[in-house]
Chain A
Amino acid sequence: MTVFLIRRFSQSLAVLLVMSLLVFVGVYAIGDPVELLVSAEADQFERARVIADLGLDKPLWEQYGYFLLQSFKGDLGTSFVFNQPALLLILERMPATLEIAFAAVILSIVIGIPLGMIAGLRPHAWYSRTIMSVSILGFSLPTFWVGLMMIMVFAVILGWLPASGRGDTVDLFGVPVSFLTWDGLTHLLLPAVNLALFKVSLVIRLTRAGMRENMLMDYVKFAYAKGLSHARVIFVHVLKNILVPVVTVVGLELGNVIAFAVVTESIFAWPGMGKLLIDSIYRLDRPIVVAYLLITVVMFIVINFIVDVLYSVLDPRVRLESKS
């Protein structure tokens, strides 16, 4: 385990370093923020002062070196627009994003696994076919279009649910969350469902495939031969085998959910980091974009790590030490 941890940590560090370079160069290429930051009336000296202030007069490698040095101290730069540390700005908005991301993942599991099991057990029944047809829609309809339709139907026409914002929040361990207030919950529902749609379809398909595959296996037959009930065979023997791939994929998808949240957050004006990213890209606020991408990379690394550990817990055949 210790060997695994050390190796994992050094690999992660290397990935971060490479990513930071790519991101830094990439963001440098997308445009010159000075045009947007300096008012049109400003004179030559004013302009030069701003450029020097932001450190944009230095060569790229020097800027990068300075950024790296600072980042080891926990400083990922200062937003050009807000004039606040980029890291702080992102962390402030992170709980909102994590909240819809987790809500979406939980929805996809509690809806996807039971529906997938039903569809896998009775593949030819009409209800199974219905489940699979709907899941194809979930896969193929674009998230933003479904989001707009949901706003149209549930907010505009029916007026049941609010269309934007986070609603009332309360602090949970010092972190503001929506799901503990009624108002917050109503605000959370539409964006969470919107974000979950794709994942639900994915989990349904994975579960169904796993169900069909596992039901044909000898161990199922043997379990029945022991005289076990259907419930015991399906919910203990088969489910536990299916959970291995489902948990892996859902866990790995958590990173994607957070990344995809950009679209959902924009549509529902959900004040998360995805929305901050989009705004910052428009304003060419480089430090925020760089910090966002690096934080996302860190998040992916952490998620992958947790998934690996969880995987080894679920599947006794997997031992972390033996992985190379």
Chain B
Amino acid sequence: MNANTPTLEVRNLKTHFHTKAGVVKAVDDVSFTVGRGEVLGLVGESGSGKTVTGFSVMGLVDPPGRIVDGSILFNGSDLAKLPDSQWRHIRGSKIAMIFQDPMMTLNPVLRIDTQMVEAIRAHDKNVNREEAHRRCVESLGQVGIPSPEERLKAYPHQFSGGMRQRVAIAIALLNKPDLIIADEPTTALDVTIQAQILYEAQKLARETGTALIWITHDLTVVAGLADRICVMYAGRIVEEGKVEEVLDQPMHPYTRGLIGSVPSRNKRGTALYQIPGMTPSLIRLPKGCAFRDRCQRAQEECAAEAPAISYPAPGRAIRCIYPYVGDSR
């Protein structure tokens, strides 16, 4: 591994659920890269496959789901080829994940210190009690939990939602991972707490070089936080690029729809735009572009074949036959 090896490089990942009703292609041919200290925003409506993408990288896809193809290069070595017993040593130590609902992620009947110390000892049996305790206190302090010494002895129900999410983040930070996957971690929180957490997340990535994948359905969150952005639709990444470029000049009609549906100051009073139609069922997706039924620009060719990836500009990628090119909004 040399200095230029990205922390994570996902190539042509396919994660499918083999259900009785049919094969759900939750993640279908997804590729992206995250480098050291970089924040990647993964955006899309709910059901587009963001969480499953995160679970795939963690090796936590539940049956009937399975990674059927592709590679997950972490610091240059392919996780998808690892047996679960080895993947386990990477989970929580090299790659950590934070979940959406802070009320559900901590075990209600175990004390915070139990849940933190076990996360350390799962990866290093030699850490003694004092050392583990010290690291827990440090980590809780890092995410801004007041009087961490005392709070360690508390149970999850004694914390508010925002505080619980901080605890979850503190647990994720315990082993100083190279990559943190944050799955809509602020969706359940109110706006001020959300802003604080976003600020701290960004600081963390800058200062420690931790790579961050920030999953969200909220473009405004990503706008201030991410370096690059991947827009996901129906299991595929339909547009990728630097965050300012994508938001200023969206090329994929779906990205445009997403941006148009964000409430903003200058449009106050006018009705919010909404992308017509609904997210298609991922079982037996029709041939062609999955977005075409909701797309204003769709032509006959869109039904023929799924659009291949094209690279309209350096660092930009889209899957669309008739993208918006050259004309700004």
Contacts and interface: CB of A to CB of B under 8 A. Distances in A.
Given A225-B58, A227-B89, A228-B122, A236 B171 contact: no
A314 B89 CA distance: 31
A218 B99 contact: yes
Given A219-B107, A219-B108, A229 B88 contact: yes
Interface in A208-232: 217-219, 221-229, 232
Most buried by B among A219, A223, A224, A227: A227
Interface stretch (B11-19, B90-98, B128-136, B261-269): B90-98
Contact of B105 (A218, A232, A316): A218
Nearest to B119: A226
A227 B121 CA distance: 10
Given A218-B104, A241-B109, A225 B96 contact: yes
A119 to B, nearest CB: 17
A134 B87 CA distance: 38
B101 A227 contact: no
Given A221-B60, A225-B60, A241 B108 contact: yes
Nearest to A243: B109
Contacts of A223: 107
A226 B104 contact: no
A232 B104 contact: no
Interface string B107-120: 11111000000110
Contacts of A315: 108-109
Interface bin, chain A: 20 to 34
Contacts of A221: 60, 99
A129 to B, nearest CB: 18
Given A237-B107, A237-B110, A240-B110, A225 B92 contact: yes
Contact of B92 (A227, A236, A237, A241): A227
A219 B112 CA distance: 13
Given A218-B101, A221-B60, A316-B157, A227 B107 contact: no
Contacts of B123: 227
B155 interface: yes
Interface in A50-78: none
A138 B228 CA distance: 60
Most buried by B among A226, A237, A244, A317: A226
B285 to A, nearest CB: 26
Contacts of B101: 218
A236 B111 CA distance: 12
B79 interface: no
Given A225-B58, A225-B92, A316 B108 contact: yes
21 contacts: A217-B104, A219-B106, A219-B107, A222-B97, A225-B97, A226-B96, A226-B119, A227-B91, A227-B92, A227-B93, A227-B119, A229-B88, A232-B122, A240-B109, A241-B108, A244-B109, A314-B109, A316-B108, A316-B111, A316-B155, A317-B155
Given A222-B168, A226-B122, 11 more contacts: A218-B99, A218-B104, A219-B108, A222-B105, A226-B171, A227-B122, A237-B110, A241-B107, A315-B109, A317-B108, A317-B157
Interface of A: 217-219, 221-229, 232, 236-237, 240-241, 244, 314-317
